[in-house]
Amino acid sequence: MKDEQKRSDELNLNLSLTTPGEAESVDKIQTLNEAMAFELKHHEDLSLADEKKLRRRISNKLAARRSRFRKLTHKNKLEQNFKDLQDEIALVGSKIENMKNYNDKLRVENEMLRERLNNITDKATQATAKIEEVKLELQLLKMNLAKAQEYQHYMKIGGESFDFYNHDELESAPEIDINQYLNLDDDM
């Protein structure tokens, strides 16, 4: 019963110490000594026990205010961090989308270049085969020419002059530089 009376006295004391206009000014006070000075200035008839209770209440009130302020500041920081992270997510999301598009473009370009390389490789292979074919044909022609020259030389030695070529056909045919074909091996 005494505890209940003390609590009701404390509540009455707390309510009687401040008026609505004064409550606003007390809320603006930041330190315990300033709050105590303000309360004692308005209520000089407090006993030592009431002064201790008042000091404890004001101290608790100021601590609660600081706690609420820290909590509000922390909440605001978290909200700002949340907004910053959302902005960053949106920015990174758009960058990811751009990189995906760029990656797709590079894949298409890579495929086109591979196709082009395959075509060039095929053409080079065909050209190499054609060159080998021409080389073989040239070697065959060289061998036939050597045989013909040997046979012609043989015929001259034997006393007879035998001409393999019809001179009328040779005059109408364009001249061919045989050295061009004979040196083909050296160029490759």
Distance, in Å, from the CA atom of 97 to the CA atom of 110, rounded to the nearest integer, reads 20
pLDDT tens digits along 104-123: 999 999 999 999 999 999 99
Distance, in Å, from the CA atom of 65 to the CA atom of 45, rounded to the nearest integer, reads 27
Domains in the chain: boundaries? 32-157
Mean pLDDT of 164-185: 53
Most confident by average pLDDT, 11-20, 43-52, 62-71, 149-158: 62-71
> pTM for the full model?
0.40
